[in-house]
Every structure is written in structure tokens, then in C-alpha cells.
Amino acid sequence: MSEVLLETRDLHVRFAARRGEVARAVDGVDLVVKRGEVLALVGESGCGKTTLARTIMGLERPAEGEITFEGEPLRYDGGFLRTYRGKVQMVFQDPMGSLNPRQTVYEAVAEGLRIQKLPGDETMRVADALARAGLRPPERFLQLYPYELSGGQRQRVVIAGAMVLNPSLLVADEPVSSLDASVRGEILKLMLELVRDAGVTILVVTHDLGLAWNIANRIAVMYLGRIVEEGPAEELLSNPRHPYTRALLSVVPEVEEMEQQILTGEAPDPTRIPPGCRFHPRCPLVASGEAARLGIEERCRTEDLGLATVTGLDENHRAACYAVSR
């Protein structure tokens, strides 16, 4: 499970914002996705997680840094991207929005095959993909239109459309957040089956730490364009070290023991990333004077920092905080 499938190195993505300002949506991300794992990329809206996912898909071009897939750097010419998108597929949040209302289930799933010009029997492949996505028997669904399906079935069609190409990597952006609560678990079960049976690797983008506990092997927590903590899911969720992760976990109603640490204000503005540690204006350690007592406050306010191994713990658990690393 340690083979690297995809890697981003010092990735930066910028957008022009109002009044000539620049939004640094992704601001120096080093991320490794290992073959066969489920990696959850977690953060609040506006933290850059969707932009990062889109950049990994080749839908946005980085301003700096690079992405390598199976050891080869991503290029942005049409031929390369077409081959690449046969291997890396994306599932979006809203299945109704990603399906064409005038296309049958069959056409929706076959579309990718036609674009990729894959040889072989199209009908067989489509039926097989539907069955793998839990739509059984597939013949019952082939001629249906999206409006004739339930929300859960639509998301299964979208997943079938991605899986029909046998991708190595599935990027799923909030795959269950538009679904009813009782149906979510079924889609998550399906994702775990795909990892186990089809050998796909999954990068799941979510704001939901409970979902990560349900399906992720590893977690990367993103804040204002940067990964601020990463590690094995169990280790990170039972022993969160970055003050942002701790706050995020403390407000999940499903976590009983932690004292709630509700951060004030909204997710901050990527056009104005604070100097020093980007979390310091909202950091409870700085506000409480703890950072001053530890003698790190000056650095928190002025010196930017990257991920480093959390002292005395699993070497794969890393955080970007002066209080817990170095």
C-alpha cells in the first residue's frame, strides 16, 4: 500500500479576484496519494479542497509546482489529458447536475467509453459497470432517464460512468452530501467495495469527519490553501494535533468527550492569507496566551511553516504547528 500513485509538489493555483486581487486558492500543497488507499481531503468551504481536486483532474492549471501520476508529470496537451482522464475519473456532489436529463442511463455510462474510443463490446461493459455500481439487474436501468431514478440510484449511475473506464484513481467531491441520510451509507459501502474489488484508489473531498472515519485510510486536513495536518485516519482523529483540526473535531456532534472549541468568524479570505502561520488569527493557542508561554508566538505571527512530523508519534502523522512539531 505504499506505492505512490499521484503526487503534488509545492502546488499553487491562483485566481484573479475583484479589484485586481489574487486569490491563492491552493497555496503550496504537497500531497501523496498511495495506490489502493482511500484518502480523505477534509476542510471547510473555501479552504481550497475542491480547487485542489479539480487541479488534480487537470481541469485547472497550477501557477507553480507539478503533479505526477504514476511517476509521470501531468502535461496539458489534449492527447495527454484525454489518456489521463481515462485513468483518473471524478464524481461530483450533485448527481442530478452531472447527468444529462435527456440521456438514458445507457448513454450516460457509455459516453466515457466513446470518448476514450475503447475497444470491446460496449453493451457488455456498460451492463458490467452498472452491476458493479449496485444497479442490478442492469437491464432494468439501461433505458431509464435520470428523473426516473432516486437520488441514490443517480449517484450510482455517475459512479458507473466513472468506473466503466477502469480508472486507477477516483476523485469524489462530497459524493454523498446531497443524498438522504439513510442512503449515504450505501454509497459509501459501494466506494469501499470498489477499492476492494476493482482495486481503485479514492481521493474523497469532504467537510465531514464522520465520513472519513467511515471509509478513509488516511486524512489530510486543509486550511486556507494548505495541508495543515495529515496522517492515518485513526491516529489523526483520535489524537488530532493541529489546533484547527482539534477545533473542527470538537464541533462534530458525534464526538462526545471533547470540549467544544467554536472558532469565531467565517472561513477566511484566500486573497488575504495572513503572514506567519495562516491559522494564527483564529488560533486558540495564540488567543489564550498558550503560544506566548511556549515561546512560539512570535514565530506563529511571522514565520510561515510547512508540515513536520509530530513529536513522539507515528512518523506518518504530520502537522504544521510550532506547538506540536520540531
Given the complex with another protein, which of 11 and 188 has the nearer CB atom?
188
CA–CA distance, 326 with 311 (Å, rounded to integer): 7
Q: Is 245 in the site for another protein (CB under 8 A)?
A: no
Given the complex with another protein, which of 32 and 267 has the nearer CB atom?
267
Q: In one letter, which amino acid is 117?
A: K
Ranges of H-type helices in 257-310: 284-287, 290-293, 297-302
Q: Is 192 in the site for another protein (CB under 8 A)?
A: yes
Both ends of the chain: CA-CA distance in Å? Answer: 28
Q: Is 120 in the site for another protein (CB under 8 A)?
A: no
Given the complex with another protein, which of 40 and 88 has the nearer CB atom?
40
Place of cell 485542489: 52
Residue 246 Cβ, how far from another protein at the closest point, in Å? 12
CA–CA distance, 84 with 38 (Å, rounded to integer): 20
Strand order in the sheet with 308-309: 88-91, 169-173, 201-206, 38-42, 218-223, 226-232, 318-319, 308-309
Among 15, 80, 145, 213, binds another protein (CB under 8 A): 213
Residue 164 Cβ, how far from another protein at the closest point, in Å? 23
Residue 248 Cβ, how far from another protein at the closest point, in Å? 7
CA–CA distance, 85 with 1 (Å, rounded to integer): 23
CA–CA distance, 233 with 145 (Å, rounded to integer): 38
Q: Residue 71: count other Cβ atoms within 10 Å of its Cβ.
A: 9
Scan residues 9-68 and list those touching another protein (CB under 8 A).
44-45
Contact track, another protein, 150-169, x by CB under 8 A: xxxx----------------
Q: Is 254 in the site for another protein (CB under 8 A)?
A: yes
Q: Is 186 in the site for another protein (CB under 8 A)?
A: yes
Q: Is 180 in the site for another protein (CB under 8 A)?
A: yes
Among 85, 184, 218, 317, binds another protein (CB under 8 A): 184
DSSP reduced 3-state for 31: strand
Are the beta carbons of 103 and 154 closer than 8 angstroms?
A: no
Pairing type for strands 88-91 and 318-319 reads unpaired
* H or E element in which residue 41 lies: strand 38-42
* H or E element in which residue 213 lies: helix 209-215
DSSP secondary structure code for residue 315 in this structure: T
Q: Is 247 in the site for another protein (CB under 8 A)?
A: yes
Q: Is 269 in the site for another protein (CB under 8 A)?
A: no
Q: Is 310 in the site for another protein (CB under 8 A)?
A: no
Pick the stretch among 51-59, 94-102, 117-125, 209-217 that binds another protein (CB under 8 A).
209-217
Residue 230 Cβ, how far from another protein at the closest point, in Å? 17
Residue 69 Cβ, how far from another protein at the closest point, in Å? 26
Q: Which residues bind another protein (CB under 8 A)?
A: 44-45, 150-153, 180-189, 192, 207, 209-211, 213-215, 234, 237-238, 247-249, 251-257, 260, 262-264, 266-267
